[in-house]
Structure formats: structure tokens, C-alpha cells
Amino acid sequence: MDFSTPPYLLKNASVQRVMLQVLAALLPGIAAYVWIFGPIILVQLALTTATALAAEAAMLKLREKPLAMFVSDGSAIVTAWLIALTFPPLSPWWLVVAGTLFAVVIAKHLYGGLGQNPFNPAMVAFAVCIVSFPALMSQWPSVGLQVSFADQARVVFGMMPRLDAISGATPLDTLKTALKLEEGTVSVTQLLADQTVYGFFAGRGWEWVTGGYLLGGIFLLWRGIISWHAPLSFIAGLTLLSGALWAWHPAQFANPFFHLFSGGAMLGAWFIVTDPVSGCTTTKGKLIFGFVAGALAYLIRVFGGYPDGVAFAVLLMNICVPLIDHYTQPAIFGMKDKP
């Protein structure tokens, strides 16, 4: 009997349980990913996981922290998986490893490790890599092309030249480029009609992967791991802004549905803006954080120079967290009448 401190009864909860459920929630998305793009993503997942755990262990050792307790908490694996899922699956191994190292060593441990990082480590990794290697970070596999798993692995490990034929931009990026190149001559509706690129509603293949993330998000919501505030307000921010522009000029702007299910929107909504460590903690704060991040993600992906805007939107909002939290403290029990 542990008499140190009341309460003596504790709920069966732990950081590890939380992290494991987040990992479980990623599985539907990963399954769709494998189905659409082949098992190469599993190689990337293994690569990032191994790198993250090794970096985590090394940093814990350096910082003289208990190794087993922290390595097994699962937080590094969550970061690793999110990196693997946001990077192009045919990224060279060194890019993925560098991104993961940056996330774990610099974005996480140099700030104090678990619970202390002001920025989402996976998003830091993505931002650093897309700024440093914009070309590599923009090459996504074309869904129509059938390249054997062995050849994909060769590409990843640098044993085969990167062929333009096997990779291209994401549907989101393709749309943006097409609109830019053929300004005024082609409408979004016409472009989206091309099912070989855009699938049913949001990019061929991608709609299934992002749908899988949505499923995972609903699971997390049901398990009480996340609250609805940040993800739904993120979706609201993205939907309202894209919806307004789409309603105003449907030829120039894609519909909200397309935006929600392409790029990193779904992963961002359910797995990134819900990161408790780098996100807002108050209810109102979560709503503001999610909404503004959603709107920013849209602005950056549509008007910015990068293929997607979720990572930058989240990082920008991470900066604002202390401010938002400070001004959104809820009234406490018995003090609600006071201003």
C-alpha cells in the first residue's frame, strides 16, 4: 500500500496509455496508406520509430533521466509516426532520419523533454525539411503508377535514381499549379473532374487516407483522449474560409470538402492541433487555437508558396498559446458573476 499521498485510489491512466491510443488511432489511416501507396510507408514508419527511440534514449542518457520510464512512454513513437505520415513516402532515408532527429533532439529534448516543448516536434521537423529541401518534400508518388515495393525501397535508400515518372505533386499542389499556369482559362470544377488525379472528391487515394485519419480522430474523441474543441474548430476555420471563397468564386477556389480531405488537414485536425503539450489548455483557447490554425492553414496552402499550410499554421499558433491561455482563463466555481 502506497501511503505517501491521497488519493489512494487512482484511475487506470498513464502517459503510455494515452500515447498507445493515439498510435492505435493512426492505424486506419496507415492501413489506407498501405493499400493506396504500398507498404513503403511501413519502411518509413520503422525508420522514424527507430531513429526517434534512439535519439530519445541518447538524450535521456545525456540529460541523466530515467531511461526505461521515458523511452516506454510512447511519446517519441507518436512523433515518429506523425513525421513518417507527413513526409512524402519516397523521401530519401537521410531526410526522414534528419527530420526525426531534429524533432526529438532539438524540438523536444532541448526544450526539456516530454511535456515541455512549446512547438509540435513533428511539425517542426516538417517545416525544417520543407524549407531546407523543398523539392524532395514535394515529390509524392503518383497513384496510378505501379512501382514494385523493392524499387520503392531502392529509391528511399538511394540505390536507384529518383524518377520524375514515379512521383509528382500532391493533388492539392497540382491544383494550385494548374490554376497558376493556366490562369483564367481553366476552372477548378473542370480540373477536379479529372478523377485520375482528384479521385471522387479530394485527390485520388488521398481521400481514403484522410478518411482513415478522421476515423482515428473519432476514436480518440470517443475514448476521451482528445476534446472536440480544437479539431472541430480547426475544421470550422478551414471550412468557413474555403467555403466563403468558393461561394464567391467557384471557378477559382476549390470547395471546402476538397480542402478538408486533401493534404494534411485531417491529420492536422485530429492529431496535431490536439497535441496537448503545444496546444491551448482552456476550452475557449482550444477553440481559438483550432479556428485560427484552420484558417491559416487554408491561407498558406492556397495563397502561400508551399504545397500545404498545416505545419506552418500550427507552429504559428504554438507561439500564441501562452497569450491565448492567459486571456481565456475560465471563471471558477462561485465566481462566475464577476467580470
Partner 1 sequence: MLSLFKFKGGVKPQTNKTQSVSEPIAVAPLPSRLFVPLHQSIGGTPQPLVQAGDRVLKGQLIGAADGWISSAVHAPTSGTVRTIAEHVAAHPSGLTTLSVEIEPDGKDEWIERTPIDYATLPPERVRELLREAGVVGLGGAVFPTHGKLTASKTVPMDELVINGAECEPFITCDDLLMRERAEEVIRGVGIFRDLLQPKRVLIGIEDNKPEAVAALQAAVAKLGEKFEVIAVPTRYPAGGAKQLIRVLTGKEVPSTKRSTDLGVQCFNVATAYTAWRAVTHGEPVISRIVTLTGNVERPRNWEALIGTPLSEFVALGQPKADTNGYLMGGPMMGFEMPAMDAPLVKATNCIIAGSPTLFPPKAPEMPCIRCGECAKVCPHELQPFEMYWFSRAHNFGKTQEYHIFDCIECGCCSFVCPSRIPLVQYFRFAKSEIWAREKEKNAADQAKARFEWKTEREEREKAEKAEKLARAAAAQAAKKAAEAAAAAATPAAASDATPEPATETAVAVTAQALLPAATEPATTTDAPVDAEAAKKAAIAAAMERARAQRAAIQPKNTENLTLLQQKDIAAVDALRQQAGIEPSPAAEAEEPKS
Contact string (CB under 8 A) for partner 1, positions 70-99, x = contact = x--x-x------------------------
Assign 90 to helix, strand or coil. coil
Instruction: Give ∠ CA 271-273-276 in degrees, rounded to 5.
Output: 90
Q: Write 107-114 long-range contacts (CB < 8 A, 24+).
A: 108/59, 108/76, 108/79, 109/55, 109/56, 109/59, 109/60, 109/63, 113/59, 113/60, 113/63, 113/65, 113/70, 114/15, 114/70, 114/73, 114/75, 114/277
Amino acid at 138: S
Residue with Cβ nearer partner 1 (9 or 181): 9
Restricting to residues 262-281, which ones interact with partner 1 according to CB under 8 A? 276-277, 279, 281
Quick one: 308 or 325, whose CB is closer to partner 1?
325
Q: How far is the CB of 6 from partner 1 (least distance, A)?
A: 6
Q: What are phi and psi of 140, to 5 degrees?
A: -110, 150
- Does position 320 interact with partner 1 (CB under 8 A)? The reply is no
- Alpha-carbon distance of 250 to 280, in angstroms, equals 34
Q: Can residue 6 be called a binding residue for partner 1 (CB under 8 A)?
A: yes
Contact residue for partner 1 among 9, 135, 165, 181 (CB under 8 A): 9
The verdict on 184 binding partner 1 (CB under 8 A) reads no
Tell whether the torsion through CA atoms of 276, 277, 279 and 282 is positive or negative. positive
Binders in 227-266 for partner 1, by CB under 8 A: 227
Residue 322 binds to partner 1 (criterion: CB under 8 A): no
Q: Is 323 in the site for partner 1 (CB under 8 A)?
A: no
Select the residue interacting with partner 1 from 67, 116, 163, 247 (CB under 8 A).
116
Rounded to a whole number of angstroms, the minimum distance from the CB of residue 37 to partner 1 is 32
Q: How many CA atoms lie within 13 A of 125 on its CB side?
A: 29
Nearer to partner 1 among residue 66 and residue 184 (C-beta)? 66
Cα gap 321→314, rounded to integer Å: 10
CB of 177 to partner 1, least distance (A): 39
Residue 104 touches partner 1, criterion: CB under 8 A: no
Residues 11-70 that bind partner 1 (CB under 8 A): 11, 13-15, 17-18, 66, 69-70
**Nearer to partner 1 (CB atom), residue 180 or residue 336:** 336
- Region for 115 from its dihedrals, namely left if φ exceeds 0, alpha if ψ lies in -120 to 50, beta otherwise: left
Place of cell 479539431: 231
- Give the one residue of 151, 211, 282, 284 binding partner 1; rule: CB under 8 A: 282
Give the phi and the psi of residue 67 in degrees, each rounded to 5: -70, -55
- Count of Cβ atoms closer than 10 Å to residue 23 Cβ: 17
Q: Tell me the three cell numbers of residue 282.
A: 482552456
Count of residues interacting with partner 1 (CB under 8 A)? 39
For residue 179, CA distances in Å to 105, 106, 203, 299, 305 come to: 40, 38, 16, 16, 13
Shortest Å, Cβ 17 to partner 1: 7
- The answer to whether residue 7 forms part of the interface with partner 1 (CB under 8 A) is yes
Footprint of partner 1 (CB under 8 A): 1-11, 13-15, 17-18, 66, 69-70, 73, 75, 113-116, 227, 276-277, 279, 281-282, 329-336
